[in-house]
Amino acid sequence: MAGRMPASLYEYKASNRGRTREAYPNTAKPSNQSAEVDARWRSCHHRQAVAYTAFQGKRMGKNIGVVGVLLALAFASAVQSEESVVITNHYDPAEQRPKLDVEQVFLYRPETEWTYSHHASITFFKGRFYTMWSNGRIDEDAPGQRVLMCRADRFDAWEEPWPLVDSQPGKTQELTLTASGFHQHAGTLVAYFGQYEYDAPPAEGSTRPKGDAHHRDTALRAVTSTDGNNWSGIRDLGLPLVPNHGPEATRSGRLIISGNVMYPYTDDASGLDGWTMAGIYPEDMAGELFDDSEGFRVVQRRAGWTTGLCEGSFFQLDNGTLRMLLRSGEKRLWVTESVDDGATWSAPRATEFSDANAKFHSGRLPDGRYYYVGNPDPDGGRNPLVLSLSDDGASFDTHYILADRVYEKKKPGMYKGGMYGYPHTMIHEGQLYVIVSVNKEGVLVLRTRIPTS
């Protein structure tokens, strides 16, 4: 493992002022078809809600009778009411937004032969910050892509990144690895990564095939550590999945992984065993499904959706409903919901929440407010990076700029675009931490005090 880098190489603090282009610091439309599809899925989910409530009554050994039926119908009506809620962010890109006082540190810059970085996550474990991200030689998601880790005792002094999981051989070429987040339980830190192999040669002049296709052997794997220094061997979790975020807990303690169309869950607190498949894919696809950047498009075609749905992030409402927002190809988010702690999910439907066709992260603040960190300007090139807040989990009407500086892209590469990409967040000691890629080549971590209500 590499030793600690001199602080002068990685320290960089700045508040966001203006959007002047600069070098990296020397530091570290709704359609009738979609409405018809949504209506069919709504009807199906209404029936599922009634059946689920009746099942719960039987499981408790009660003869629910007429009262049970009435309760089931009331429950189903509540589900329909929840699904009719308008989810919006009221975002006007031309409107001036307040800029938060933000500290920021570059953890990685494209100065070596490894010039692609993306899919970052952050956590705090046993007194240290830990981060991880995907790191490739040139192109996005090319063979040989590995997982880097970087850690720090203090926010302003980070160690040099090192390969947590280095390039792995496949059957005919190197695997493509994707950093997929953290989980911790009982003194053990789990770091997840997805993998697949291309079953096709690279495109001419590139290190990978064009398009999201020709994947095989998609799998979720993990490594573990009790001290952050010594890591286990690679463990296969038996899921054909490249996650969007690592496992997150509901109020019951159940862990759910936000994928594209798969949202597996487990009641095993370790996050390593007992995973059960769930999601928004057609039931007849369960035996053949794989969920990665190719798999969700296969589901789109089978389900008849008008757009691809992917890269979910969920939060839990006060009434227990899980609300999973989804990236789409329509410059707005979609949503699916679960009323049974992630066992089943409603038909996905479009929202009025604007989006730059990009990954985001959502959750709840310690005071109960809901938050979103992402790129709500549909035409901003994933700039600015915005914190949006809501009191009810539906109307995100308060917005703050986290970052809007423009950095010049230093190195070429297939599918390298977008200023602030794929944020992941953490709440720690009253502050919001955000890690994000910059031009899919630099890695930036930010922190700021959480705005008061």
* HEC-encoded secondary structure of the chain: CCCECCHHHHCCCCCCCCCCEECCCCCCCCCHHHHHHHHHHHHHHHHHHHHHHHHHHHHCCCCCHHHHHHHHHHHHHHHHHHHCCCCECCCCCCCCCCECCCEEEEEECCCCCCCEEEEEEEEEECCEEEEEEEEECCCCCCCCCEEEEEEEEECCEEECCEEEECCCECCCCECEEEEEEEEEECCEEEEEEEEEEECCCCCCCCCCCCCCCCEEEEEEEEEEECCCCCCCCCEECCCCECCCCCCEECCCCCEECCCCCECCEECCCCCCCCCECCECCCHHHCCCCCECCCHHHHHHHHHCCCCCCEEEEEEECCCCCEEEEEECCCCEEEEEEECCCCCCCCCCEEEEEECCCCCCEEEECCCCCEEEEECCCCCCCCCCEEEEEECCCCEEEEEEEEECCEECCCCCCCCCCCCEEEEEEEEECCEEEEEEEECCCEEEEEEEECCCC
Count CB atoms within 10 A of the CB of residue 295: 26
Q: What is the pLDDT of residue 264?
A: 98
Q: What is the reported pLDDT for 23?
A: 59
> At residue 300, what is the residue type?
Q
CA separation (Å) from 440 to 59, 139, 141?
Answer: 50, 10, 11
Positions of the chain with pLDDT under 70: 1-83, 453
In degrees, rounded to 5, the angle at the alpha carbon of residue 301 between the alpha carbons of residues 39 and 48 is: 35
Q: Please compute, for residue 11, the number of CA atoms within 13 A of its CA located in the half-sphere on the CB side.
A: 6
The 10 Å CB-count burial string (b at 16+, else e) for 204-228 is eeebbbeeeeebeebbbbbbbbeee
pLDDT of residue 311: 98
- Within a 10 A sphere around the Cβ of 103, how many other Cβ atoms? 17
User: For position 22, what pLDDT does the model report?
Assistant: 54
Close Cβ partners of 407 (under 8 Å, ≥ 6 residues apart): 21, 22, 23, 24, 419, 438, 439, 442
Q: Which domains does the chain have, with CATH numbers?
A: 7-30+85-449 (2.120.10.10)
pTM, two decimals, is: 0.85
Residue-averaged pLDDT of the chain? 86
Q: How far apart are CA 387 and CA 371, in angstroms?
A: 7
pLDDT the model gives residue 80 = 47
Q: What pLDDT score was predicted for residue 84?
A: 75
Task: Assess contact for 198 and 208: CB atoms under 8 A.
Answer: yes
- Say if CB 14 and CB 403 are below 8 A apart: no
Residue 28 tokens, joined: 């570290």
Cβ-contact 131, 246 below 8 angstroms: no
pLDDT given for residue 298 in this prediction: 96
What's residue 78's pLDDT?
Answer: 46
Which distant-in-sequence residues (6+ apart) come within 8 Å of 213 by Cβ?
200, 294
